[in-house]
Structure 1
Amino acid sequence: MAKLTYLAITSLDGYIEDADGGFGWAAPDAEVHAFVNDLERPVGTHLYGRRMWETMEVWQTIGEQPGLDAVEIDFAQVWRAADKVVYSRTLDAVSTPRTRLEREFDAAAVQRLKDEAERDLSISGPGLAAPAFRAGLVDEVHLFLHPVVVGGGKPGLPRGLRIDLDLVDERRFASGVTYLHLRTR
């Protein structure tokens, strides 16, 4: 059975966006980006909410522009190689290859995906991840904590839900970003 992982880049106080919806403070440097690329490489299917997919779909066309770092080109290739499922009640269609649209998150359907998948799955965005956590579907969490306190915004982890975790690994990057790899109990 494949694992379902949740990856979030957050402020030290646990937000993926600040109160104004900004997340420029979370842009990874080359060292962190390369590490994320290696975490994402084994993922066969990404599960996205509409807003996260709209943020990520730019990677479909990145790759041939002048001035790109090798780490960005690598991530674009990793992203394009994976299947995507976008959960949205408002989108009429999705525009990227290897992508399908689902209207509702169905925990039983995601469990079947996990059972049948040959490669791991990832779920992105705290709104979509919350019902997956509630259903006990998330196996691992990868958190990248940036050394900034933004004071409010969109939380990176579900609120009102207790999740017991075991620390598997940690790493500190030169930029001050701290990585935590956690496994759900």
Structure 2
Amino acid sequence: MRKLIYGINVSLDGCCDHTKFGGSDDILDYFRELLHDTDLIIYGRKTYELMVPFWPEVAQTQSMNAAANAYAKTFSALDRVVISKTLNKVADQKAVILRDNLKDAIINLKQQPGKSISIGGVDLPGQVIAWGLVDEFHIVVHPVVVGEGRRLFSELNMPENLGLQLQDTVTLTSGAVALRYLKP
């Protein structure tokens, strides 16, 4: 069965609003390397619209620095699933929209052959985590306190404690720490 991997950036005080703190090349490199072991990304509408068309355009134009261009090429090569009840279509040839029976659809995707599946964002992953479908967590903690903004898992309703197991920590050159946890 394919692994479902959740990755996100947060500040020290748990803010997951990427506009509140900057990124760096080492963050892009970390997530690019993580995407090398995946062949599918699942996003909700909001996260999808933050990522597409931005990264596919960068992949095509190679208009940013080397780390961003490399991330864009890796991201753009992946198939994408958008979970949305409001989108009727996407211009992205690599994406399909799912609307209903999300838990069953994600279970079905995990059972298909292929590499791991990546999931990003906040609302949708929270729901999928509560269903017990996320196998691996990559939380990159940035060395900043922002004081305001949306907090990670602030509205998560878990039926039980997951009791994750720390598998790895990586201190990036920016001072951010990447934490990798597995569900037992």
Normalising by structure 1, what TM-score?
0.90
What whole-Å deviation, never above 9, does each CA across 1:42-93 have from its counterpart, x for those lacking one? Answer: 2111000000000000111113547521211111111111110101111121
Q: Among the aligned pairs, what percent are the same residue?
A: 29
Structure 2's unaligned 5+ residue stretches are: none
> Which residue number in structure 2 is paired with residue 50 of structure 1?
45
After superposition, where does 1:80-95 map in structure 2 within 5 Å? 80-95=76-91
Q: Aligned pair in 2 of structure 1 residues 89, 31: CA closer, same or farther (>3 Å)? A: same
> Which residue number in structure 2 is paired with residue 20 of structure 1?
none
Q: How many residues align?
A: 180
Structure with higher strand content: 1
Structure 1's unaligned 5+ residue stretches are: 18-22
Decide whether the 8 Å contact of 2:6 with 2:120 is kept in 1: yes
Partners of 1:130 and 1:167 in 2: how far apart?
19
> Which residue number in structure 1 is paired with residue 148 of structure 2?
152
What is the RMSD of the two structures over their aligned residues, measured on CA atoms?
Answer: 1.7
What whole-Å deviation, never above 9, does each CA across 1:76-112 have from its counterpart, x for those lacking one? Answer: 1111111101011111211212100112361122111
How far is 1:124 from its partner?
0.9
SS in 2 for 1:33: helix
Partners of 2:14 and 2:173 in 1: how far apart?
20
> Which residue number in structure 2 is paired with residue 4 of structure 1?
4
Alignment partner for residue 35 of structure 1, among 30, 38, 50?
30
How far is 1:171 from its partner?
1.2
After superposition, where does 1:12-23 map in structure 2 within 5 Å? 12-17=12-17, 23=18
